[in-house]
């Protein structure tokens, strides 16, 4: 389950049955209520696939004014895309974790902090899937269309 939108946090199935949807409840599982959006994912969905789609969109929405946001989110999105496709070099999970730390708190606004919170929660919630993808073993869900909607900003413009 995804709680709090694209700056929010993923919850495991077990957590989603235990947590209360308020600030205190979400804080207890390292999450936030954020915008209040809650999305229950089908069991067939791939969390890494979904996360890669959203990370690409988040990176593309940077205002391009701060280096860590502009270059850091792009690098994280690129590495996550490699993970989605099972085409990675070296320890991509350690790299993603390090880059998230490099970006956090280094923008003029909190936008990149929300993006790396989303990424970190994916690596934690979908740890086994992330490790499988890193070894080139993608799950069947990674070949299906992503479930989470990605706004088409070109159409909205």
- Give the integer Cα–Cα distance in Å for 104 and 100: 6
CA distances to 42, 73, 117 from 64, in Å: 34, 10, 19
> What's the CA gap between 6 and 113, in Å, rounded?
11
- The radius of gyration computed from the CA coordinates of the chain, to the nearest angstrom, equals 15
Task: CB nearer to ligand SF4: give 41 or 66.
Answer: 66
The footprint of ligand SF4 on residues 105-144 (CB under 6 A) is 107-109, 111-112
Our finding on whether 153 is near ligand SF4 (CB under 6 A) is no
Q: Which stretch binds ligand SF4 (CB under 6 A): 29-37, 59-67, 75-83, 141-149?
A: 59-67
CB of 151 to ligand SF4, least distance (A): 16
Residues 62-81 close enough to bind ligand SF4 by CB under 6 A: 62-66, 69-70
- Asked if 40 interacts with ligand SF4 (CB under 6 A), we say no
Q: Among 80, 110, 113, 105, which Cα is nearest to 9's?
A: 113
- Chain residues binding ligand SF4 by CB under 6 A are 62-66, 69-70, 107-109, 111-112
């Amino acid at each position: 389950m995804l709680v709090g939108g694209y700056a929010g946090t993923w919850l495991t199935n077990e957590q989603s049955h235990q947590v209360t949807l308020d600030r205190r409840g979400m804080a207890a599982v390292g999450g936030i209520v954020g915008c209040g959006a809650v999305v229950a994912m089908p069991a067939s969905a791939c969390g890494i696939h979904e996360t890669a789609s959203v990370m690409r969109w988040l990176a593309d929405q940077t205002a391009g004014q701060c280096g860590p946001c502009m270059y850091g989110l792009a690098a994280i999105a690129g590495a996550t895309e490699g993970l989605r496709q099972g085409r990675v070099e070296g320890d991509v999970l350690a790299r993603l974790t390090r880059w998230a730390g490099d970006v956090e708190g280094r923008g003029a606004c909190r936008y990149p902090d929300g993006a790396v919170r989303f990424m970190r929660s994916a690596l934690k919630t979908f740890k086994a899937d992330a490790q499988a993808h890193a070894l080139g073993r993608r799950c069947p869900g990674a070949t299906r269309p992503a479930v989470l909607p990605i706004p088409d900003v070109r159409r909205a413009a």
